[in-house]
Structures are given as structure tokens and as C-alpha cells.
Structure 1
Amino acid sequence: MEFIDSHCHLAMDSFNDDRNEVIERFFEEGGISLLSVSTNIDEFYLNKELCEKYSGIYTSLGWHPHDAKIFGKNEEDFLKNVAEKRLITAIGEIGLDFYYDNSPREEQIRAFEIQLKIAKKFNLPVIIHTRDADKETASILKKHKGIKGVIHCFTSGEDFFNTAVQLDFYISFSGIITFPKAEELRQLVKKTPIDRVFFETDSPYLSPVPYRGKRNEPLRVKYTIEKAAEIKGMNVENLSNIANQNFFNLFGKNSF
């Protein structure tokens, strides 16, 4: 089976001791591409090095809602510059997180909207994070209609699911769908059109069963894909191939 991890964080400190080994293990075991998200300038430069070293690696850049309070003019200008030069595949992850409220909500909304406008200006897709803010996220995405993207690590309810699909967003599922108490989310996996589905690890977070509680890594996306195939009653290779094509339809072929 060939597979893609559509969202991971290889630039995080969790991978400092074995980053190359983790990447090589992914490609040796059937991985064909992964997208390593950058949430600040330092992570961008590290991910850029990885993109140049490994042909199957993509990166994005965006200021997470947790960091919205530090998203100022310098950060905005840097994001515009790398977007214009096509040094990133997408803007993200961006959005709203009203669960932790690590940044004031008005700052989260401000940073989110600025970054959506940059995505639209440079015709780049977006990677959306939303937690306990589905109504507000839906309202903002409707306001900026026409931008393409993916709702990453989907854990929202059916109302936001329907809105996202209506807006032609892709829906990305993580290892959470393997957790025993995630039955409602599994029902949405079943409901997701196959031409809208993505899979991700969000590593180093959210290791799927049977590795729950341990550091996650891109290779383990295959457990999520296997679970989704079981839920949808599909051949796992067919589902993975479709998800791979969805990834390329949104993000294109890597230019590095």
C-alpha cells in the first residue's frame, strides 16, 4: 500500500534525535509523500531543508491560533514573501481555537482573516484548525468563499462537517478514529465522500491504536487508513490511492 501523511510536525523538538530515521522509515514502508507543517519562521527553515533533501516532502506555513497574538507585520510580510515565491504548498495551519484560548479570540480572528486573504491573493490552499469554534470558523470561511483547503484533524460535529463539504473543503482524519470512544467521528468517516477524504497523523501527537500514548510518527498514518477502510467497507489500497490523489489534487506536485 502506498500512502500519504497529509499533516505532521517534523520540525518539532520531539523529532530532534531521530528526524531522518523517522522520515526514511516512512518512505521505506510505503509512504510516498508527507506534509510537514511550519507554525513559525524557524520551523519553516527546517522544513525547507527537509523538502530539499527528500523529494516527497511538502511544507506549509501559518500562524496557529495559539500564536495569533504574536502574528504581527513582520510575520505577515514573511508569509507573503514565501507564498509569492512558492516556497510553501499551503497556508496553515490557521484557524480558531476557543478551547484553550491561548490567544485572545479577537486576535485569533484577526490573524485568521489576514492569512486567508494572503492565501486568496497568492492562490494557495489553506489548512484549517478549529476547536470549540465551529460556528465562528464556518462563518469566516463562508465570508472568504472560494478558497480551497482541508479541515485538518477533523473532530467537529455534523453541522460543521456539512458546511465544510458544501464549501468544497477536504476532511482530514487522524488516529482519533481508532480510539474506542470516537464512534460519532467514525460515523462521519462513513459519511465523507471519497473524493473529499484525507488522512494524517498530526504527529508527534495522536498516535493511533495500538500505539496510543506514544510519540506518533508519519508511518502510523497507515493504521488510520486501515480503520477508515474498515468503516467504509472499502479495500484499503483503493481508499489510500483515492486519498493520495485527493492530496495531489489540492496541493499539486512538489516543486522542490
Structure 2
Amino acid sequence: MQTESTPPHGFAVDTHCHLFLMEGDAAATVRKARRGGVERLVCVGIDPASSRRSLEMAESFRGVFSTAGMHPHSASDFDQAAGAVIEELLADPLVVGVGETGLDYYRRLSPVEDQQRVFRTHVALSRETGKPLVVHVREAWDDALRILEEERAERVVLHCFSGDQGVAKEAGDRGYFLSFAGNVTYPNAERLRDAATVAPEGHVLAETDSPFLAPQPRRGSPNEPANVIDVLATLAAVRGLNLEPMVEVATEASLRAFPLIR
């Protein structure tokens, strides 16, 4: 279990990674991130098995925390047994969020009806536990925002934010957190960078979604938590900040989004 503490400022946070999907030595990956100033990692589960594995990672490495949930791609597999495992994991203080959950109408690997049903269940779990909801949305913004409102979602983290300025403004008005990933660095991501300019201060987070979405300077290689600094550098540029204050603002927002990672 974690026994050491780190000062609450002066470091970066990767709010969304999947250590269990990375090749190589997880300990080396975590050490490399820490050497680069990334001292908090949220390892996000995508089903009961990976959620349990994420907790094992959190128990093994200082500064690593986990979440528990069912990805929309696997929503059709969500049954009573899966729900029981996720609820059990959420009782652990190292499990700091519910998800990832949400809606993905791009690939539709589970029927829309199943995705929406499981999404609503996760919103309820977030409200019951008081832990933030980690939300995946792809080509489903209207339904996702509607369900979040209908189910009275409270602390919401929009992972790998992909909306436009209008969605960013609406999400910000609701008090949601917008977490930007490596794709914000891509040359063709002008619309996403425009959204990053209007996201409210104090609600902008940075993530890697590693091992996916390596930022532009590292495309072609597996992504890793250390690369969240590249995301923060792009956010700083589009928001008119130097890197250091951008890191500070994003870290403060991350600690409010995920209070248990303090």
C-alpha cells in the first residue's frame, strides 16, 4: 500500500492512463513519469478485470490511483456480477473514480440501448459513492449531456475531450472538468484547440490515455504518462500561458476533480 506523501503542488497529473495495457515494466514507466515531474497517475479501468488490475497497480506504486467501471464498448457485458465487482472495488480509497463509462456511437461495439443503460448506472454509482464520473464520449455529445443532466451527475470528468467550443462552453457552465489528451497536439486538431481556449480556468485537465494517442512529437511510439507534459505544453500555448503556470492550474484542477489523489 502507499505509505509516502508528496507535496500537493509543483507536480503534474496524468488524469487518465491504462498502465495495464502497456508493454514493458510498469515500475519503470512510473519512475520515468516521476522523473519528469508527473507524480500522480490515474489508472483507469475499462471492465471488472482491468479495474481490479488497476487497483493492484495503485497498491504497488506510490502516486498511482485507480478507477472502476465498464467502457461503453463492453456495455453489453455489464450484468449483476460485473456490477458487484465494480461496487466492491469502489469501496477502496485508492479507487478514486467511477468509469470509464459513457457513450461511443462511432464504433457501436455495444448497442446504444445497452450503452445508455450502463451509463446511467454508473452515474448513480458516482452519486452514491461521491467519487467522480470518468466519461468517454465519441460522436454522442447530445445524448451524453442529456443523460448527465437527467441523472443529475455531480463531479464529471470528460475524458479525452473531443467536443467543439459549444460543447466546451456548455460543459464548463455545468461545472464539468474537461480532460485533454495527446490528440490536442495534432496539426489537424484546430477545432479541439479552439475548444481548449474557451474551457473555464480551473476545469482544464491533462491526460495521456496511454498507451494510445501519443502526442505529436512522439507519434509512432506507444504513449506513456510522462508525455502528459507535451499535452500541457500545447494547452499552455493555446491558452496564452507559460508551461509552469499551466501545470500548476491543471494540477489544482486535477486535485479538485479527484480529491482522493491528494
TM-score for the superposition, normalised by structure 1: 0.94
CA deviations 1:185-208 (Å, max 9, x no partner) are 111111112211000000000000
Structure 2 segments unaligned to the other structure (5+ residues): 1-9
Instruction: Kindly provide the CA deviation profile for residues 129-178 of structure 1, in whole angstroms up to 9, marking residues without a partner as x.
Output: 00111100011011122411210101112332222112210001111111
Runs of 4+ in structure 1 off by over 3 angstroms are: 84-87
Deviation of the 1:41 alpha carbon: 2.5
Q: 1:11 aligns with which of 14, 20, 27?
A: 20
SS of equivalent to 2:218: coil
Corresponding position: 1:56 with 2:63: yes
Deviation at 1:97, TM superposition (A): 0.2
**SS state at 1:194 partner:** coil
Q: For residues 153 and 105 of structure 2, what CA distance do their matches in structure 1 show?
A: 25
2:166 matches 1:159: yes
Query: In structure 1, how many angstroms separate the alpha carbons of the residues matched to 2:147 and 2:19?
Result: 29
- How far apart are residue 29 of structure 1 and its match? 1.7
Helix, strand or coil for the counterpart of 2:125? helix
Q: CA deviation at 1:87?
A: 4.5
Residue pairs, 1:240-255, within 5 angstroms: 240-254=247-261
Aligned-residue offset at 1:85: 4.0
Alpha-carbon RMSD across the aligned residues, in angstroms, is 1.5
Are 2:28 and 1:21 aligned?
Answer: yes
Q: Is the 8 A contact 1:91 1:124 kept in 2?
A: yes
For 2:219, what is the secondary structure of its paired residue?
coil
For normalisation by structure 2, the TM-score amounts to 0.92
> Which whole-Å CA distance do the structure 2 matches of 1:74 and 1:253 have between them?
26
Of 194, 209, 223, the match for 1:187: 194
Q: What's the offset of the Cα at 1:6?
A: 0.6
- Residue among 175, 181, 184 paired with 1:177: 184
- Is the Cα–Cα contact under 8 Å of residues 135 and 160 in structure 1 kept in the other structure? no
CA contact (8 A) 1:142 1:167 kept: no
Deviates more, 1:154-163 or 1:190-199: 154-163
| C-alpha separation in 2, matches of 1:30 and 1:86 | 24
Give the number of aligned pairs.
Answer: 253
CA drift at 1:84: 3.2
Deviations 1:45-98 (A, max 9, x none): 322222122221110011000000000000111122222344510001100000
Post-superposition Cα deviations, 1:82-135, rounded to whole Å, max 9, x if no partner, equal 223445100011000000000000000011111111111111110110011110
Structure 1 unpaired stretches of 5+? none
SS in 1 for 2:217: coil
Indicate whether 1:204 and 2:204 are aligned: no
In structure 2, give the amino acid aligned to 1:169.
Y
Q: Return the alpha-carbon distance in structure 2 between the equivalents of residues 176 and 85 of structure 1.
A: 32
Query: Corresponding residue for 1:2?
Result: 11
| Partner of residue 150, structure 1 | 157
Mapped partners of 1:82, 1:20: distance in 2: 22
Give the match for residue 106 of structure 1.
113
Determine the structure 2 residue equivalent to 1:233: 240
Retained in 1: the 8 A contact 2:73–2:104?
Answer: yes
Which residue, out of 41, 44, 53, partners 2:48? 41
Q: Distance in 2 between matches of 1:196 and 1:190?
A: 12
C-alpha distance in 2, partners of 1:10/1:165? 29
**Structure 2 counterpart of 1:90, which letter?**
G
Which residue pairs with 1:79 in the alignment?
86
Q: Does structure 1 residue 168 correspond to structure 2 residue 175?
A: yes
Q: Secondary structure at the match of 1:11?
A: helix
